[in-house]
Amino acid sequence: MVSVEAINSEHRAQLFNYMRITDHTRGILINFGEKRLRAERYLYDEVDDNFILLTQENYKLYIDD
């Protein structure tokens, strides 16, 4: 694990590949290298082969309480 200045598309692509290979539907990227802790949460929709960035606005559409 390495902290970097910012999360970029290469980091996301690596996470998405790991999620596909391991059949995990949830993944998170965390970076400690920015001024503030940054995290991105993703869901993998196997039916559409699509990754969804979870935000405060949309997470309730995908996550059951």
* CB burial of residue 9 (10 Å; 0-12, 13-18, 19+): exposed
Compute the 3-state secondary structure of the chain and give helix, strand, coil in percent, each to the nearest 5: 30, 30, 45
Confidence check: pLDDT of 4 > 70: yes
Mean pLDDT of 19-29: 94
Share of the chain above pLDDT 90, in %: 58
Distances (CA, A) of 52 to 3, 12, 47: 23, 11, 13
CA distance 5 to 24: 27
Q: What is the pLDDT of residue 33?
A: 86
Mean pLDDT of the chain: 90
Contact 47/23 with Cβ under 8 angstroms? no
